Amino acid sequence: MSDLGEMCEPSRARRSGGRGARVAMRAAPLDEAKRPIRPGMPGGRYSPLDEAGVQRIHQAALEALEVIGLSNAPASGVEILTGAGAVQGDDGRIRFPRALVEDMLAVACRDLTLCARDPKYDLHLSGTNVHFGTAGAAVHVVDLETDTYRDSTAQDLYDAARITQNLDNVHFFQRAMVCRDVIDNYEMDINTLYACLSGTQKHVGTSFSDPSHVAGCFDLLHMVAGGEAAWRARPFVSNSNCFVVPPMKFAEESCQVMEDCVRRGMPVLLLSAGQAGATAPAPISLAIVQAVAECLAGVVYVNAIQKGAPAIFGTWPFVSDLRTGAMSGGSAEQALLTAGCAQMHRFYGLPGGAAAGISDSKLPDMQAGWETAITNVLAGLSGLNMVYESVGMHASLLGFCLESLILGDDVLGQVMRCVRGIDVTEDSTSIEAMKQVCMGGAGHYLGSDQTLRLMQTEYVYPTLGNRMSPKEWVEAGRPKLLERAIQRKHELLARGQSQIDADLDAEIRQKFNIYFR
């Protein structure tokens, strides 16, 4: 395919250095500061709620906490919360006075850095900085080579982590699949954690299926970190914790896991995942009210254990197709819900996360493309700090596709370019380039100094997306996008090595029953 340099070669033939040198210069990696997109770029240009709407949601959430409260807190949670000033009623529900919520918001963690094993992948959750990554608990792999759904395995999770390590626009890796080949739940938690850590040095998110599993998983974490002190200095894994079962009910075992993780120095994603029209109210605004109320309860809970403990405000409401009750993760309503939640995170000044990029389509087709793009764009433009489930997810979170993970990297590149917005500077609005072209110049901008200078720093190019002309496409053998994605998958897996030192890996495999290679 002809690139811009080839198109304008005749007008540049007299420039010093030669074409080969210029092509090599363009192919060389850019300094991080000069890249057109990079992790943590600020969003926040899109606000679906006006100021009055934000205030109304905030006040309604406070009222819900004070009047309705949450049920089913574990005994340890009752002690923690009432000790901080919450009130347990005769009906057993824990209610939260407004003053208590406001006091805990005042001491809550802000400007949180989620560490990675390699510091260059650290995520700085400040302001409207945007990061995209995986998440979910898909029970199937979408196998494009056979067009079938099959049970996901520990090897699949490891492969997804290895691929993510090589994708520029997927900034973190949270467990995306269930290791269904691991029957024992403790071994499944161990394999889930270790598959993620073996595959990538980016920040990892995981969950624990039982409170009794936390200690053993932290033994593994300390081995990888080089000891407990090293872990506490740079905790590179966060706990994705569904501490509530909407509507307005604590999940007892998850709360116990959360308490343990906070005390062990692990950042916690306070995840409220109601489904509008089912386990959350049908109105988009009221679904946000419930999610905000539940997560504010989590803020009180975490900070009552340890003031300033690292936590992510995980308002994560989903949408139902009200005709059937089925989840509709790729809908416009889902995009609005996520963007509205991001705006509430900005209102509280808390690091926030929510879901986008989910497709209801069963395969990576046109439907998957529009659903992934629309929801991710709104999430990024709204300034969401952590966009979970942004790539790879099909069938409303039931299936994960490795090829869609790879294709999603291209989608996220374009999304991040939208997040960056338009640079308006003295240079970018100067008419000098126009004068040179229009008044005695070539009559086009293809070979101008300004165009060549901005090729890499202003424009983002897809890795697999095809911009050939029809003629070039035919001459190239009519390449198809999904076929190229399959080929790219095999290339990445062929070169993707374990991110754990071989001696340490052997030691871990001797201590734990690891299912992948």
**Does some domain include residue 441?**
no
pTM, rounded to two decimals: 0.93
Q: Which of 402, 407, 482, 376 is nearest to 138 (CA)?
A: 402
Residues (pLDDT < 50) of the chain are 1-17
Q: Which of 51, 42, 54, 45 is nearest to 340 (CA)?
A: 54
Whether the CA torsion 218, 224, 230, 235 is positive or negative: it is negative
Q: What are phi and psi of 207, to 5 degrees?
A: -135, 165
Two structure tokens written together for 135: 């998440």
CATH code: domain of residue 180: 3.20.20.480
CA within 13 Å, CB half, 225: 21
**Does some domain include residue 200?**
yes
Q: Which residues are CB-neighbours of 161 under 8 A, at least 6 positions away?
A: 173, 195, 196, 197, 198, 199, 200, 204
346 by DSSP, 3-state: which? helix
The DSSP bridge partners found for residue 239 are: 206, 268
Considering its fold, how many domains does the chain have in total? Answer: 1
**Does some domain include residue 486?**
no
**Does some domain include residue 3?**
no
Domain extent at residue 320: 105-421+507-511
Whether the CA torsion 187, 189, 193, 198 is positive or negative: it is positive
**Does some domain include residue 400?**
yes
The per-residue DSSP string of 182-244 comes to: --SHHHHHHHHHHHHHHH-SSEEEE--SSGGGHHHHHHHHHHHHTSHHHHHHS--EEEEE--B
Q: What pLDDT score does 451 carry? A: 86
Q: What pLDDT score does 2 carry? A: 37
DSSP 8-state assignment for residue 386: E
> pLDDT (tens digit, 9 = 90+) per residue, 403-460?
999 999 999 999 999 999 999 999 889 999 899 899 988 899 888 888 888 888 999 9
Q: Which long-range contacts (CB under 8 A, 24 or more apart) does 258-262 make?
A: 258/301, 258/302, 259/76, 259/77, 259/80, 259/305, 260/211, 260/214, 260/215, 261/208, 261/214, 262/302, 262/305, 262/306, 262/309, 262/311
Q: How far apart are CA 359 and CA 378, in angstroms?
A: 15
Q: How far apart are CA 380 and CA 417, in angstroms?
A: 10
Q: What pLDDT score does 440 carry? A: 85
**Does some domain include residue 342?**
yes
